[in-house]
Structure 1
Amino acid sequence: MRDSCERCGAVTGPTSTAFICSFECTWCAECADGFRDRACPNCGGDLQLRPTRSSIA
């Protein structure tokens, strides 16, 4: 998992809310909300809420 938003550089750590496409392009929630139809600007893929990881993993 990438640890920062590809657009604004915001930290998207293991427990942060972030969105990813099938290629794992990573976006913070604020940037993802600004993309038309919530599509990845890199590949056009559908952005989905990234699963969080527990601190134990």
Structure 2
Amino acid sequence: MALEMRASCELCEKQIEMDQEAYICSYECTFCPTCTAGQNGICPNCGGELVKRPKRIKINR
């Protein structure tokens, strides 16, 4: 089952587009790179590890 990333950072509320870098924990808490660095890669909500999420690729058809 895939994790569902939020559309904005949970700390600074900055919008995160689907092709931008973002970090997510196993509880689907989502953070921008700046806020992730400020938390030393640990989710402030659940204490889980924040990992870089795969970027979605926009396909032009």
User: TM-score w.r.t. structure 2 length?
Assistant: 0.83
Q: Which has the larger radius of gyration?
A: 2
Report the Cα offset of residue 38 of structure 1: 1.3
Q: Is residue 55 of structure 1 aligned with residue 61 of structure 2?
A: no
Q: Which runs of 5+ in 1 are unaligned?
A: none
Considering fraction of residues, name the structure with more strand: 1
Unaligned runs of 5+ in 2: none
Aligned length: 55
CA RMSD of aligned residues (A): 0.9
- Percent of residue pairs identical: 49
Q: Which residue of the partner structure matches residue 15 of structure 2?
A: 11
> Residue type matched to 1:32 in 2?
T
